[in-house]
Amino acid sequence: VFAPLRSPIDDIQEELSALPGVRCRLERCPVSKRDFLPCVVRRMSPGGRRQDGNVHMDTVVPGSTFSINVYLSVPPGTEGGELVLWPVRKGSLDRFLNAHFFETIEVQNFYPQHTFYTHDLLASGRIEPIVYRPAAGDVVLIDPAYPHAVRDFEGPADLRRISLQTFVQVSRRGSGSGAGASEVQLEYAV
């Protein structure tokens, strides 16, 4: 898509790898040793989802996976399209005590004709969401272990919101200090 130029994901990978103690690389398949896809292109049209978005979580345990979203095109002057993230408690005890809530969020998008209690709870305002309206050129990093959604937007049928998205797995390699110091390993793929 970007040939002969570099992808914005390449630039992000390079900047992350330049940080002290960080190594960022494209993830490889453990069986074939071939690179996974570095990212997906998300093309959003108006009216393509629920008005409040499809609330979901991409992983359960916080801090182990991150999502990077690069916004290439955002329709100007349209209503909606905001990224909404609910900062719920996700410690191990909270995940255990609220397992039904988190499990319901994980399956509710398979039943779009139904409204679940999780929607009502998140819409009640008891948990104040973080709401961000991206602009073209923005790079947004979120922890997808938390419930999140992208609101639908309104406008002519030919409007598009286009972004690149990848997941980054976080791990640590090595231990100690000096030459054998611990290194943060970031591997990205979709």
Q: Is residue 30 over pLDDT 60?
A: yes
pLDDT number for residue 182: 81
Average pLDDT, the chain: 88
Q: Is residue 180 over pLDDT 60?
A: no
Q: Looking at the domain assignment, is residue 150 inside a domain? A: yes
Q: Looking at the domain assignment, is residue 26 inside a domain? A: no
Q: Is the dihedral of CA 119, 123, 124, 130 positive or negative?
A: positive
pLDDT, tens only, 165-178: 999 999 988 776 66
Q: Looking at the domain assignment, is residue 81 inside a domain? A: yes
Evaluate whether 170 touches 22 at the Cβ level (below 8 Å): no
Question: Radius of gyration over alpha carbons of the chain, in Å?
Answer: 18
pLDDT, tens only, 118-176: 888 888 888 899 999 999 999 999 999 999 999 988 888 888 999 999 999 999 887 76
Domain count, the chain: 1
Supply the range of the domain harboring residue 55: 40-169
Q: Is residue 108 over pLDDT 90?
A: no
pLDDT, tens only, 75-86: 877 678 899 999
pLDDT number for residue 60: 67
**Which one has a higher pLDDT value, 19 or 175?**
19
Q: Looking at the domain assignment, is residue 185 inside a domain? A: no
Taking CA 142 as the corner, what is the angle to CA 186 and CA 80, rounded to the nearest 5 degrees?
Answer: 145
**Which one has a higher pLDDT value, 19 or 50?**
19
Q: Looking at the domain assignment, is residue 189 inside a domain? A: no
How far apart are the C-alpha atoms of 117 and 154, rounded to whole Å? 26
pLDDT number for residue 113: 80
User: What's 156's domain CATH number?
Assistant: 3.60.130.10
